[in-house]
Structure 1
Amino acid sequence: MALPVSTGKINSVSVIIDDVLWNGEVGDVLRKKLAAPVDGLQEEEPLFTLNQYSPKIFNSNVRLARNIVVISKAAHPEFKHVMDKYAVPQNIFYISGHNWNEIIETIELHSPTLTGSINYSEIIENQKATAKALFNDQKIRQKFNITVQIPEDFSYALLKHKFAWLKKDIPSGNSSLLIYQVPLSSFKKGSIVDNVIRIRDSIGKKYIHGMLDKSSMQTEESYYPYISKTRIDDKPAFEMRGTWELQNNFMNGPFLNYVIKDSPNRRYIIVEGFVYNPSSTKRDMIFELESIIKSTQFLKPKKNEAKIRNKAI
């Protein structure tokens, strides 16, 4: 018999835990790890939305949730990850210990695996939803020799030789996706952060302008960006999260920038998402952009095809 489809909003986690533990130190540690502020947002928004339930009702529809964390007391500390037990897709994490301290230690020890596994599966889930109605990325394939799974509600705002700006409007603002390339030689001596900021600010000055005062988008200096190493389509990349602003303007918001090293073609492909949504939360909008960018795949060059030119844009 096939399992039912799991339920739950993107980035939501059901926590099965006794009220006493939830309202004490164990709950505090869980919230610290699972509801930590998302890097790069001006206002604090939690990594995951937590919903607490008593163990007494775990045999109801609660167990159909896509992400479940079960906290309990046991003779020995344990961390166990079970997939697709009651529904598909599903992650259930069992965390136990003999007392509060053992449970807390187990959470602390395995929190990177816990948060990383949930984030990864939520990215996959979002990409599956996007794949049902995709934007035609043929021009992106032709310009950059890559493919990106972009939702159909995005459209081109600007298209140049080696630059693409796609945008999705919503009632309270918009989401944007930038794709461009620069030669490997564009990165000079100095920190990765300084290089990425210099390049993205030059792109903002050239292409991303305010409507009234002709100001351009730049990296906001008062918020130092977060940067980390990652991989996109098995290529080395840097992820940067920070805040953008329009010069001499009140418009600003979060951005997510990926610099992907494409050594065979002696270039960096840079894919960036940024959000303008002043009257509402931004976590899920940035997460959608993250899932889009992480779908990037490099196409194999066709036979007898000339190598991609690496001119500065």
Structure 2
Amino acid sequence: MTTCLRLLFLTAIVALCSCSGGTQSLLPKSGGRPYEVLLVASDSRCAAVVDSVLTQDMPSLPQSEPMFDVSQIDSTRFNQTTRLARCIVIVTVNPTVFTSTRIRYEKNVWARPQLVVYVNTPSAAQLGMYMSKAGNRLTGLLTRAEINTAISVLRAGSNRKAEANIKSMFGCDMLIPADMKASKKGHNFIWLSDNGADRMRSICVYSYSGSTLDANRAVAMRDSVMKANIPGETDGMYMQTTPGSVTAGLTKEKDRTVMISRGLWEMRNDAMGGPFVSLSTVDSVNSRVIVAEAFVYAPGISKRNLLRSAEAALYTLNSNKGSRGNDKSR
């Protein structure tokens, strides 16, 4: 190859990497289903410890379902094919190198999107003590990676009409799954659904007056809003929160404090029901609380992935301060 051609070739490679996001853009597409984890560990006791954390029940579902589906392999079988998994947890036991258990992670190591979590520990006993106290850090990392992947899918194609309605009503930006084409509007309320025959995912956005995030008031307002806007087939049927099912906590999202609530819903005087998750945020400019909620109805089948896929949209809610929309909060 002549010097001139070699320079042209190198220039083309640099341009390709620059335009498409660097060397990571050359990585193959990762494989695996949502909330599926490949666990790589040679020590069977350590593998059992981590597996028990990953397969614990997902909270606030009407039946037992694991947080993740786990496949285990020995480190000797971790090769070019298995490295393409979307979520990988690699456990390394070495008492001469590690004095305590630590977790670190990397993104897009062998494929994209991909999260690789390294769990380094001196012993199975030490790992067990660590996981009993901080196992939620591991599950949190993996859950967030899956949510971010789902959000990327939403960004690639979403329901622009529904998003425009939310913007008009609440002054908020939010991504809505493209297949949620059915909708119903109410006072400070919109319900969007994919209207599935045997499994249905729905998202509601509503608001109420207030300047604080209070879990008890949130449940009371939810019941009021759902009773008014989601009736059943006959009089006396309406959606309500299953008593005692709700857990709620405050967390940070996009440098703001939000309340995440999880629980069960049921249709009063009917046999329908299922899980829900909601994100509540204070719009201090307009003295109101804005709630984005996802719920599913899927009798007789697993609900984890259905709920999680709809839940991802909630984290895209972005209240534009100073914009009131067209409606006034109650």
The range that moved more, 7-16 or 112-121, is: 112-121
Partner of residue 204, structure 2: 178
The reply on whether 1:6 has 2:30 as its aligned counterpart is: yes
Residue 173 of structure 1: how far off its partner (Å): 2.6
1:297-308 mapped onto 2 (5 Å cutoff): 297-299=318-320, 301=322
Partner of residue 91, structure 1: 115
Distance of 2:189 and 2:281 partners within structure 1: 15
**Cα distance per residue 1:60-90 (max 9 Å; x no partner):** 3111112111123212245332332212222
SS at match of 1:205: helix
**Cα distance per residue 1:233-269 (max 9 Å; x no partner):** 4332211111111111111111112221111121100
The reply on whether 1:218 has 2:244 as its aligned counterpart is: no
Partner of residue 126, structure 1: 150
SS at match of 1:43: coil
Partner of residue 181, structure 2: 155
Partner of residue 164, structure 2: 138
1:266 and 1:310 in contact (8 A); partners too: no
* Structure 1: segments with no counterpart, 5+ residues: none
SS at match of 1:113: helix
Distance of 1:84 and 1:78 partners within structure 2: 23
Aligned residues: 300
1:37-56 mapped onto 2 (5 Å cutoff): 37-56=57-76
Distance of 1:247 and 1:183 partners within structure 2: 26
SS at match of 1:264: coil
**One-letter amino acid of the counterpart of residue 329, structure 2:** K
Distance of 2:82 and 2:261 partners within structure 1: 36
Partner of residue 65, structure 1: 85
Q: Which one of the candidate residues 179, 192, 197 is aligned to 2:219? A: 197
TM-score, normalising length: structure 2: 0.84
The reply on whether 1:245 has 2:266 as its aligned counterpart is: yes
Distance of 1:266 and 1:47 partners within structure 2: 36
Distance of 1:171 and 1:205 partners within structure 2: 23
SS at match of 1:170: coil
2:168 and 2:326 in contact (8 A); partners too: no
Residue 107 of structure 1: how far off its partner (Å): 3.9
Residue 200 of structure 1: how far off its partner (Å): 0.6
Distance of 1:204 and 1:307 partners within structure 2: 21
Q: Which one of the candidate residues 261, 281, 294 is aligned to 2:302? A: 281
1:183 and 1:310 in contact (8 A); partners too: no
Quick one: structure 1 residues 139 and 82, their matched pair in 2 at CA, closer, same or farther if it must change by over 3 Å? closer
SS at match of 1:89: coil
Residue 307 of structure 1: how far off its partner (Å): 8.1
Quick one: structure 1 residues 83 and 108, their matched pair in 2 at CA, closer, same or farther if it must change by over 3 Å? farther
**Cα distance per residue 1:76-117 (max 9 Å; x no partner):** 245332332212222222223333213334444552332221
**One-letter amino acid of the counterpart of residue 318, structure 2:** Q
Residue 38 of structure 1: how far off its partner (Å): 1.3
Percent identical pairs in the alignment equals 25
Cα RMSD after superposing both structures? 2.2
Q: Which one of the candidate residues 272, 280, 292 is aligned to 1:271? A: 292
**Larger CA Rg, structure 1 vs 2:** 2
1:143 and 1:161 in contact (8 A); partners too: no
Distance of 2:101 and 2:263 partners within structure 1: 37
Residue 133 of structure 1: how far off its partner (Å): 1.8
Quick one: structure 1 residues 242 and 16, their matched pair in 2 at CA, closer, same or farther if it must change by over 3 Å? same
The range that moved more, 88-97 or 257-266, is: 88-97
**One-letter amino acid of the counterpart of residue 210, structure 1:** G
Distance of 1:110 and 1:41 partners within structure 2: 23
Distance of 1:88 and 1:105 partners within structure 2: 32
2:210 and 2:288 in contact (8 A); partners too: yes
**One-letter amino acid of the counterpart of residue 273, structure 2:** N
Distance of 2:267 and 2:137 partners within structure 1: 38
SS at match of 1:14: strand
Distance of 2:226 and 2:41 partners within structure 1: 48
* Structure 2: segments with no counterpart, 5+ residues: 1-22
Distance of 1:227 and 1:165 partners within structure 2: 22
TM-score, normalising length: structure 1: 0.88
Distance of 1:94 and 1:237 partners within structure 2: 30
1:16 and 1:54 in contact (8 A); partners too: yes
The reply on whether 1:29 has 2:49 as its aligned counterpart is: yes
